[in-house]
Structures are given as structure tokens and as C-alpha cells.
Amino acid sequence: MTIIAMTGGTGFVGGHLLTQAVAAGHRVRALARRPQPARDGVEWIAGSLDEPHSLAALMEGAQGVIHVAGAVNAADRAGFARVNIDGTAAVLAAATGAGITRFVHVSSLSAREPQLSDYGWSKAQAEGVVTASGLDWSIVRPPAIYGPGDREMLEIFRMAARGVVLLPPAGRFSIIAAEDLARLLLVQLTAYDGCILEADDGTPDGWDYHAFARLLGTILGRRRVRTVAMPGMLLALGARIDGLVRGKGAKLTPDRVGYLRHPDWVVRDPMPDGPWRPLIATPAGLHDTARWYRAHGWL
């Protein structure tokens, strides 16, 4: 049995990771800013990334760290830096202080093109902090992540269910199921030393935006789905409108427009030989996700 210190356990990916970690027989100490319901195999540690005493408590007795927490939306570059760079440095410092050497870090495929967005820049900078830490590290750069409980891709499911899907300009992207990503994070505790990994569903050359939207429509029972590629200027306008309507809850932000306009978010570097490979075929995973959304009244 391993005791794992985890950040981001209250989020979408973290929730899947908690489930798999406990099922595998691990004990988890998970950081949480708000009170959480009791859960077998999980010890919730109250606090946040900017509280050294909370991070010290999180690390106590742990053999490895999986750092999932991060900001995907922020008001400006400083906001991203505060969470994604400074927060990562704080978790690394706490791990070092506790004598923990194994550190698994969740980055983003956007770190490959840091000039396109403040988010991608902050994730690339955080990677630099990890690789310079002197710890035994492993980093994964997930592409788009989907699965039961996800709110980031919920809107495209809803559009596909209505029969009209608004898309970024022409391009391709890779995708991974949250369950597959969670399995990889657990594997990284003992494998892929010193690697920056790009992991996906195994689909060669990824997915074309339009083909993916049509697949979603078929899964959701639509005979025909109309797909509309949004020019970059309209995306930028849409981000302003979304910000006015939903405020901090906006999904389309000006920063996000930068990388949505990029045509290539396909995983290019194959996973090195090792104990992990994707198990969830994307059509089957999308079916399961749609069923979950409907069962919970989200769709």
C-alpha cells in the first residue's frame, strides 16, 4: 500500500484519480479548500496551494505526490502564474521538505505552444519548475479530456444534441478519457522517470473537429449534425459575449481563443514503451459519457 499526496482531488480528473487510487489499494491524502464528504481510503487535508502549513500536512507520511490542481481560467497572466507556477513550486517545496522524491505533474498539451495563451505559457513555466526541482519527476501533457462528470466538453455534447455544432477554425486534435489518464497518473508513480509524456486515445493523427462533432451527433441520436467553423474574429467576439453573460464562469475566454485558433493539437510524440496504453476507445467512451450526462440531468 502506498500513501499518495494529491492536489486537485475535488476536480474532474482528480475525482477519477481518487476512485482508481483507492480501488488499487492506495491511501490518498487529498488537499481541499472546502469541506468534503467522508470517503473510504481518502483523508482530506484542509487548505490550498498558497498555505505552506497545509501542504506540509498533506505530505506527511506520503511516498509520492500527484499534482493535478491548476487554473484553466484566470483574469490575466499573473492569475495563471499564481496558481500554475507558484502553486507548483509550493507543492514541490513541501514534497522536498517531507523527503518525498517521486513527483507526478499534470501539465497540458498547450505547453507545447506557450506563445499562444497565458494558460499554455504558465503550464510550460510550471514544467520548467518541475524539471529543475531535483526530484524524481514525471510529467504528462494531456490533450482534451472527457468523461463522466466533465463540464469543459459538456457544451459540445449539448450542441450536438441540438444538431448544430460551432467549432474552431479547421484543425485536428487529440483526446483522452479521464479514466485512461487517471490510470496513467498512477503508473507514473513508478514508471516513466524523467519523461514529458503526451498521451491520447491512440487514434493516429487525432480527430478532425467536424468528424468528431458528427460522431457525437450519431451517439446522441441525431441523423444529421450541422458543423460550423467559426473564424478567429468571431471566436474573439464570442469570448467577449461569454464573459459578459457568464462572468467568471465563461468557458470561451479571450485567452482560450489563442489556442483554439491553432490548427494542430494532435499528440505527435508516441508514448514510450512501458506499462500503460489507452484502454477506452473514444466512441465507447463518448457513449458512456453521454449516458452519464443524461442520467444526471446535464443533457
CATH for 3-146+175-201+267-278 is 3.40.50.720
Which of 119, 146, 192, 293 does the annotation list as catalytic?
119
- Residue 254: its pLDDT value, please? 75
pLDDT tens digits in sequence order for the chain, 299 residues long: 699 999 999 999 999 999 999 999 999 999 999 999 999 999 999 999 999 999 999 999 999 999 999 999 898 999 999 999 999 999 999 999 999 999 999 999 999 999 999 999 999 999 999 999 999 999 999 999 999 999 999 999 999 999 999 998 889 999 999 999 999 999 999 999 999 999 999 999 999 999 999 999 999 999 899 999 887 666 655 556 655 556 666 666 777 888 888 899 999 988 998 999 999 999 999 999 999 999 999 99
Q: Encode the chain in three state secondary structure.
A: CCEEEEECCCCHHHHHHHHHHHHCCCEEEEEECCCCCCECCEEEEECCCCCHHHHHHHHCCCCEEEECCCCCCCCCHHHHHHHHHHHHHHHHHHHHHCCCCEEEEECCHHHHCHHHCHHHHHHHHHHHHHHCCCCEEEEECCCEEECCCCCCCHHHHHHHHHCEEEECCCCEECEEEHHHHHHHHHHCCCCCCCCEECCCCCCCCCEEHHHHHHHHHHHCCCCCCEEEECCHHHHHHHHHHHHHHHHHHCCCCHHHHHHHCCCEECCCCCCCCCCCCCCCCHHHHHHHHHHHHHHCCCC
Sketch the domain layout of the chain as residue ranges. 3-146+175-201+267-278
pTM: predicted TM-score of the whole model, two decimal places: 0.94
192 catalytic? Reply is no
